[in-house]
Amino acid sequence: MCAQLNRREFLACTSALAVVSTGGSLLAQPASTAAQEWWTWRGPAGNGTCRQTISASLKKDKMKWATPVPGRGHSSPTVAQGKIFLTTADKAAQTQSVLAFQQSDGKLLWNKQVHSGGLEHKNHAKNTEATPTVAFDGENLFAVFHNHDAVHLTCMSPDGEIRYQKTLGAYAPRLY
């Protein structure tokens, strides 16, 4: 996939990746952990809901913990193995990273820089360079970033070790 992807090809590629990562995580995830873990975008059932009810008026004094998150990102949190995984981007430092927090207390466990440089110069004000959600298949984390006018996939261990990276194809959203 070295050629420039058009919008339709890009959407087909990312949709296929989402289906594979979601389907694999849904099949691999034991039913008993479905309520506690959130392995991919839109959760264990793929519908953005969970079995627990959450008060519509969540108050600060009821929060278990809060922690600062460096940079900006719009990814959904992925919850697995007692950890919370997020993507983030720091436009000033020109970095894109995957973060892991301890689920019980919000302690930052690791911050793995995946890309340096190559961030979009212009981006929608409500978007960030770290929008896709980390997916988990029971053994591997998968993070996708747009960087240097291409889409890149990074496979990591739950401990933050990069297992491999692959460029999925060229993509320049400003052209579409």
**pLDDT, tens digit, for every residue of 40-96?**
655 666 666 666 666 666 677 777 888 888 888 878 888 899 999 999 988 889 888
Domain at 7-29+67-175, CATH from 2.40.10.480, 1.20.1250.20, 3.30.710.10, 1.10.8.60: 2.40.10.480
Neighbour-count burial for 23-42, b at 16+ CB within 10 Å, e otherwise? ebbbeebeeeebeebbbbbe
Q: Using 50, 70 and 90 to split pLDDT, how confident is the model at 24?
A: very low
Segments making up each domain of the chain, as ranges: 7-29+67-175
Mean pLDDT calculated for residue range 107-112:
96
pTM, two decimal places: 0.70
Question: How confident is the prediction for the chain on average, in pLDDT?
Answer: 75
